[in-house]
Amino acid sequence: MSNVIEIEHMSKFYGAFQALDDINLTVSQGEVVVIIGPSGSGKSTLIRCINMLEQYQQGDIRVGDQRVETGDKLASIRCEVGMVFQNFNLYPHLSVLTNIALAPIRVRGMARRDANERAHLLLEKVGMGGHAQKYPSQLSGGQQQRVAIARTMAMEPRVILFDEPTSALDPEMVGEVLDVMQSLVRSGVTMVVVTHEMGFARKVADRVVFMENGRIIEQNNPHDFFTAPQEPRTHAFLQAVLHH
Ligand SMILES: Nc1ncnc2c1ncn2[C@@H]1O[C@H](COP(=O)(O)OP(=O)(O)OP(=O)(O)O)[C@@H](O)[C@H]1O
């Protein structure tokens, strides 16, 4: 199966502080990789390097057949890599429909009618069919996040990166967003998900990656990862999060 993301010996520094240390990770087409680890372990930094929200200093990141690097690559990498943030980041002054249709029109040059038609289909897919003309402030957090997912899908990226997509939500809305993500998985979307939702990792991931202090400590299929972690640090983390 072809690799969508290939990361080799990648390190990232914020000034003198090393946030990522010799990261090696591949994600193949259709794969769901869930990244877990303690606060400050570098999970967000890692996915922000993949879509060029942060620069890395050593090693390589490739998406499809392109090397991720600054300069003229930015636009084409951003088309290939979708991102869903913790705080939804919808445009507050645009309707739900326009939030979704805007980038396909502006960036891909799609005709407005086609982009709107696609936006309506995507809204149905995320269970938001009746809300096309509303504004983000009229929606709950869970609804806004489902619109944000539809907006990312509208660009038909090769892979979608999720940075703690349910962390800013009230508990009763977490399930509706995870359900939408699971439906994307069933339709074959490749994704990398940073989350504290262990149930999602267990049920939906093809592979779970555990990070600590800027390093990948261990990665495995969810069954083996959760039942028989190999590294003492993984074991200790799972004990703390699963039994508190
Ligand atoms: N812009 C920045 N400048 C300097 N240091 C930063 C910056 N962003 C993150 N860091 C540091 O890099 C480390 C990794 O942060 P990161 O946000 O990637 O961790 P995380 O695993 O995603 O944590 P959390 O689960 O709390 O979101 C932390 O020590 C953090 O303080």
The closest residue, in CA terms, to atom 13 on ligand 1 is 40
Prediction pTM value: 0.95
Query: Is 138 a member of any domain?
Result: no
* Domain housing 209: 3-91+158-243
- Report whether residue 37 contacts ligand 1, using a CB cutoff of 6 Å: yes
Looking only at the bridges linking them, the beta strands covering 191-194 and 159-163 are parallel
Predicted local distance difference test score (pLDDT) of residue 1 = 62
What CA–CA distance (Å, rounded) separates 135 from 97? 9
Does residue 173 lie within any of the structural domains? yes
Counting the structural domains of the chain, the total is 1
DSSP annotation of 29 reads T
Residue-wise pLDDT tens digits, 179-233: 999 999 999 999 999 999 999 999 999 999 999 999 999 999 999 999 999 999 9
Which CATH number goes with the domain that contains 192?
3.40.50.300
Query: Is 150 part of any domain?
Result: no
Who's near 206: CB < 8 A, 6+ residues apart? 31, 32, 33, 221, 222
Helix (H, G, I), strand (E, B) or coil at 63: strand
Rounded alpha-carbon distances, angstroms, from residue 233 to 76, 179, 218: 38, 30, 9
**What is the whole-number distance in angstroms between the Cα of residue 176 and the centre of ligand 1?**
28
135 in a structural domain: no
Instruction: Look at 98 and 1; give whichever has higher pLDDT.
Output: 98
- Judge whether 127 lies within some domain: no
CA of 44 to the centre of ligand 1 (A): 7
Residue 112 domain-assigned (yes or no): no
Interval 32-76: pLDDT, tens:
999 999 999 999 999 999 999 999 999 999 999 889 987 777 778
**Does any domain span residue 115?**
no
Cα–Cα distance list, 40 to 118, 170, 212, 213 (Å): 38, 23, 8, 7
> Is residue 48 one of the residues assigned to a domain?
yes
